Amino acid sequence: MQRLMCKGKIHRATVTEADLDYVGSITIDALLMKHAGILPYEMVQITSLRNATRWKTYALPAPEGSGKIGLNGPPAHLFQPGDLVIILSLGLMNEEEVERLKPQVVFVDETNRITAVEEHDLVVLRQELARAEKARADESGH
């Protein structure tokens, strides 16, 4: 079975431009793409924190260090400069790939400069959830 998984994320990026007349895509600072594991022409999902709109399109690199997050073509109607967005890189994976999955989560400031990069590990997450569940059970006497 294949599962659609999050393999990378840019968290709370600020849209810097929206160009209705451009052919399409989202243009993302190449440094952010690199750290989130997003390749040129890879399909990504963009979610607006302003209006919960979701859009899927392909990613193109902007100059490294530019801080650019540009929505091009039709999504320019839905996303405006200044909007905060979450950009997800998704991938279909088999069970073995899921077990090895370590999504890269890129945190940025208001100018889309990287403030932190975290590698999330599914195995560690499962262990933390099991510990939390055990602690809740111990507290409730079950």
Task: List active site positions.
Answer: 25, 58
A 10 A CB-CB count for 13 gives 28
Q: What are phi and psi of 78, to 5 degrees?
A: -105, -25
Partners of 58 in the beta sheet?
Answer: 43
Alpha-carbon gap, residue 68 to 30, rounded angstroms: 9
Alpha-carbon gap, residue 142 to 133, rounded angstroms: 11
Angle at alpha carbon of residue 137, lines to 135 and 138, rounded to 5°: 65
Sign of CA dihedral 116, 104, 80, 41: positive
Asked whether 18 and 71 are in contact (CB, 8 A), the reply is: yes
